[in-house]
């Protein structure tokens, strides 16, 4: 078993500083770590806690990287062989954003070679039709998802990051409000 790491000793890179990324940076700031941020649109609130850098600097200097980006053509497979090679050895990578930000084949290779020391995934490429459905008696069609589950340094939560009582209530309220607004037009 490898020893853990203290956050105050780490440099944490946050890719994407919209509402969720900004909140993550604010919460993370209480742990005393160095925080690097990358986003095409810099956020003044984030600058109070983090230093904006270019993507390559964030990849090279971060001990842990957390993804909070939307999925666009420009962010599809943002994490791939090329970007992984720029990262520190034994880097911690977290994705609670969009599965397609990471090239799953490349991330598997990085886990196997121990380039990536730990991986946290709330989302994964090709997860459509798999999460939030009872598959206890099925064989999963996403072989990469099943393969990643075997590694002791990989945590997969399958879209549980959002699943709180408050979040579910808000989703129901928003859905009902939208239906009422449509009916009243």
Catalytic residues: 98, 127, 159
65 vs 107: CA distance, rounded Å: 14
Retrieve residue 170's tokens: 């808000």
C-beta of residue 25 within 8 angstroms of C-beta of residue 1 = no
* Residue 142: other Cβ atoms inside 10 A: 17
Which element (helix H / strand E) includes 114? none
Judging by beta carbons within 10 Å of its beta carbon (0-12, 13-18, 19+), is residue 64 exposed, middle or buried?
A: buried
């Amino acid at each position: 078993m490898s020893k853990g790491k203290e956050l105050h000793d780490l440099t944490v890179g946050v890719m994407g500083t919209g509402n969720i990324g900004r909140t993550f940076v604010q919460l993370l700031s209480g742990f005393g770590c160095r925080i690097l941020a990358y986003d095409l649109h810099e956020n003044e609130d984030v600058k109070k806690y983090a230093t904006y850098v270019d993507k390559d600097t964030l990849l090279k200097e971060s001990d842990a990287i957390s993804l909070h980006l939307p999925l666009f053509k420009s962010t599809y497979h943002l994490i791939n062989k090329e970007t992984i090679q720029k990262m520190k050895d034994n880097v911690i990578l977290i994705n609670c954003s969009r599965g397609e930000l990471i090239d799953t084949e490349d991330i598997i290779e990085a886990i196997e070679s121990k380039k990536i020391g730990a991986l946290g995934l709330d989302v994964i490429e090709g997860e459509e039709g798999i999460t939030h459905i009872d598959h206890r008696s099925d064989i999963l069609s996403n072989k990469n998802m099943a393969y990643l589950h075997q590694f002791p340094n990989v945590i997969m939560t399958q879209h549980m990051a959002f699943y709180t009582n408050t979040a579910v209530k808000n989703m129901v309220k928003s859905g009902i409000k939208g239906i009422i607004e449509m009916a009243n037009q």
